[in-house]
Amino acid sequence: MGSAVVKILFVCLGNICRSPTAEGVFRAMAARELPELALTVDSAGTAGYHAGEAPDSRTCEAALRRGYDLSGLRARAVEPYDFEVFDLILAMDRQNLETLKRRAPAQRRGRLRLLLEFAPQCGLFEVPDPYYGGANGFEQVLDLIEAASLGLCTALRRGTLAPLWAP
């Protein structure tokens, strides 16, 4: 990948639980695991319900217990330019992936994936939405996102994702 900046966007529905968690966890893990890699990491929602809001307080509390500070993040909706700017756009679930596929230009759809493709050992395809559940749901989300973030770091280290953003 050379000296190019790799740009990754994490996406869920409202951008207040799963995708900001993925942004914070991956940013911290990549800084530790891949300090030499230039990265831009962001998150967004397929819906703009919570634009400008901080992540859900339960999300922030669960993340902080594991050392991830999400307090500076603010929700935003996916914009058309995101498909041009980001090298890899990772959806938390199939519904959001399908929404992204409908919105993305045809030549950019190959950059869209599910986050849990990077954690096959988890046996799940989707990061469940913890919004309407209990505290355990936020812990499960963190477990899944930590596993996927480690897998994503491994893929970036090996260079197996480079064809997604090669000229």
Residues noted as catalytic: 12, 18, 129
Is 55 in contact with 20 (CB distance < 8 Å)?
A: yes
- % helix, strand, coil for the chain, step of 5: 45, 15, 40
How many C-alpha atoms does 103 have within 13 Å on its Cβ side?
19
Q: Residue 165 and residue 167: Cα distance in Å, rounded?
A: 6
